[in-house]
Amino acid sequence: MADIQIQKITLNEIEQLQKIGRQTFQETFSESNSEENMKDYLDKGFATEKLTEELTNKDSEFYFATLDNEVIGYLKVNFGASQTELKDDKALEIERIYVLKEFHGKKVGQLLYDKAIEVARQKNNDYVWLGVWEENLRAIGFYTKNGFIEFDKHIFKLGDEEQTDIMMKLKLTN
| pTM for the model | 0.92
* Mean pLDDT within 92-113: 95
Mean pLDDT of the chain: 94
The catalytic residue among 41, 74, 113, 143 is 143
Contact of 99 with 63, CB cutoff 8 Å = no
Residue 89 — pLDDT band, cuts 50, 70, 90? very high
Give yes or no: 143 in active site. Answer: yes
Q: What angle do CA 77, 36, 74 make, to 5 degrees?
A: 20
The pLDDT of 126-150, averaged and rounded, is 95
DSSP 35-71: HHHHHHHHHHHT-HHHHHHHHT-TTEEEEEEEETTEE
Spatial contact of 41 and 55, defined as CB atoms under 8 Å apart: no
Tell me the sheet residues that pair with 153: 166
Bridge partners, residue 62, by sequence: 76
| Confidence at 152, pLDDT banded by 50, 70, 90 | very high
Query: What is the number of other CB atoms lying within 10 angstroms of the CB of residue 75?
Result: 26
**pLDDT of the residue at 173:** 81
Confidence at residue 170, expressed as pLDDT on a 0 to 100 scale: 98
pLDDT value, residue 29: 86
Average pLDDT over residues 66-76: 96
11-45 pLDDT, tens digit per residue, is 999 999 999 999 999 998 888 888 998 999 999 99
Report the pLDDT value the prediction gives residue 174, as an integer from 0 to 100: 62
> At 158, is the pLDDT very low, low, confident or very high (cuts 50, 70, 90)?
confident
Share of the chain above pLDDT 70, in %: 98
Which residues, 6 or more positions from 123, have their beta carbon under 8 angstroms from its beta carbon?
79, 92
How many residues make up the chain in this entry? 174
7 in Cβ contact with 71 (< 8 Å): no
